[in-house]
């Protein structure tokens, strides 16, 4: 009996010292575990006289129960303390100001390019991208551009040597596309182009969007209808287009397309230089020689093509007066295009 009281007191003392549940578990095992004190008491049963054994067994069981209750209560307190400590450690100050993350914005050229793709894919156009490094055949010859055409001049085109050049127009993609695909089709081809040109409205690198539609019975009216739709969506619901005769080697007839000035509604203002119209792109009926160069029978199929400068559209749409703003990437400029 005395020995039991001593064991209980020792268990109380040791468990009081145990700081965490791991240490407490070890103390508990040193009493109640397989090699613990209580278990070894039980093993002393055989050394005891037969008639004292039931009373002895009862004592040891009572001791075991007291210890179990003691450890259970102690365990509960240790767990509470551990939880409190963890909550204190992991406390979040919800009143602390957050770290601000700065979001970017799409570049105006990217925005206009995506908007163009949206408008024309809605009319059934598929997007095709040609290479930026081209050869003379795709950029000029197949597009019916004569050997003495000024665009071929060293002053206008960046030649890379070995018959290669930086494409000066996405029109080169027309040929690559038609070599692979038989009509009917509607193709849209965005991309960077390069010209030896540099002032407030010209940059040595800029973006174009090319369109090409070939089918039986395609006419200039189809072109006009699609361009009207494009102008209404890109600029304003009341925008109109007009075609003026022009010349491109790869189209016949060729036109320059004006859009009614969205700034003055066509009455005339400084932006449209008093004319009420702004030139936005070149277009025309695909020259039969171009179709022939790509193995398309011009007596069976006709087509129209158009090409526009994406920077130019962006400048008109957003009232940007210098093309350099689009390549300087000053964040004070770019941030104005956040949606
Ligand atoms: N490639 C011409 C240029 O860069 C633009 C152009 C004009 C494209 C007429 C066409 C077109 O597809 O039909 O100035």
Fold (topology level) of 108-337: BirA Bifunctional Protein; domain 2 (3.30.930)
Q: Is 134 in the pocket of ligand 1 (CB under 6 A)?
A: no
For residue 231, pLDDT over 70 is answered with yes
Q: Backbone phi, then psi, for 319, in 5-degree steps?
A: 65, 40
Query: Where exactly are the structural domains of the chain?
Result: 2-89, 108-337
pTM for the whole thing? 0.72
Cα(200) to ligand 1 centroid in Å equals 21
Taking the C-alpha atoms of residue 272 and residue 321, their distance in angstroms, rounded to an integer, is: 13
**Are the C-beta atoms of residues 199 and 206 closer than 8 Å to each other?**
no
Cα(309) to ligand 1 centroid in Å equals 9
| pLDDT (average), residues 301-311 | 97
Q: Backbone phi, then psi, for 210, in 5-degree steps?
A: -105, 145
Residues 91-147 pLDDT 10s: 988 899 988 888 888 999 999 999 999 999 999 999 999 999 999 999 999 999 988
Percent of the chain residues past pLDDT 90, beyond the cut: 76
Candidate of 283, 289, 309 to mutate for ligand 1, largest count of ligand atoms within 8 Å of Cβ: 283
Q: Is 284 in the pocket of ligand 1 (CB under 6 A)?
A: yes
CB within 8 A of 139, min separation 6: which ones?
Answer: 157, 165, 167, 168, 169, 171, 172
Length reported for the chain: 339
For residue 1, pLDDT over 70 is answered with no
Cis status, amide bond into 40, omega within 30 of 0: no
Q: Is 248 in the pocket of ligand 1 (CB under 6 A)?
A: yes
Residues 171-191 pLDDT 10s: 999 999 999 999 999 999 999
Output the residue whose Cα is nearest ligand 1's atom 2.
307
Q: Is 305 in the pocket of ligand 1 (CB under 6 A)?
A: yes
């Amino acid at each position: 009996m005395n020995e039991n009281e001593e064991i209980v007191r020792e268990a109380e003392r040791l468990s009081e010292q145990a700081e965490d549940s791991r240490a407490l578990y070890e103390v508990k095992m040193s009493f109640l575990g397989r090699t613990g004190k209580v278990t070894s008491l039980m093993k002393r049963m055989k050394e005891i006289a037969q008639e004292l054994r039931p009373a002895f067994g009862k004592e040891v069981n009572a001791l075991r129960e007291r210890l179990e209750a003691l450890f259970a209560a102690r365990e509960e307190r240790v767990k509470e303390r551990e939880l409190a400590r963890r909550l204190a450690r992991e406390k979040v100050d919800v009143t602390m100001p957050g770290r601000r993350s700065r979001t970017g914005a799409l570049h105006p050229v990217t925005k206009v390019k995506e908007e163009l793709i949206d408008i024309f894919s809605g009319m059934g156009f598929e997007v095709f991208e040609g290479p930026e490094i081209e050869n003379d055949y795709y950029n000029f010859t197949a597009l019916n551009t004569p050997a003495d055409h000024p665009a071929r001049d060293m002053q206008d085109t960046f030649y890379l040597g070995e018959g290669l050049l930086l494409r000066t127009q996405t029109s080169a993609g027309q040929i690559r596309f038609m070599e692979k695909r038989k009509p009917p089709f509607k193709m849209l081809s965005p991309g960077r182009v390069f010209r030896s040109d540099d002032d407030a409205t010209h940059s040595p690198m800029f973006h174009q969007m090319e369109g090409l539609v070939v089918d039986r019975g395609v006419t200039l009216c189809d072109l006009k209808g699609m361009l009207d739709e494009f102008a209404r969506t890109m600029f304003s619901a009341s925008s109109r287009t007009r075609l003026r005769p022009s010349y491109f080697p790869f189209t016949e007839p060729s036109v320059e397309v004006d859009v009614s000035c969205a700034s003055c509604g066509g009455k005339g203002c400084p932006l449209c230089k008093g004319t009420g119209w702004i030139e936005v792109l070149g277009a025309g009926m695909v020259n039969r020689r171009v179709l022939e160069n790509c193995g398309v029978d011009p007596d069976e199929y006709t087509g129209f093509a158009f090409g526009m400068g994406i920077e130019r559209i962006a400048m008109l749409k957003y009232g940007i007066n210098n093309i350099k703003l689009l390549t300087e990437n000053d964040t004070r400029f770019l941030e104005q295009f956040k949606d």
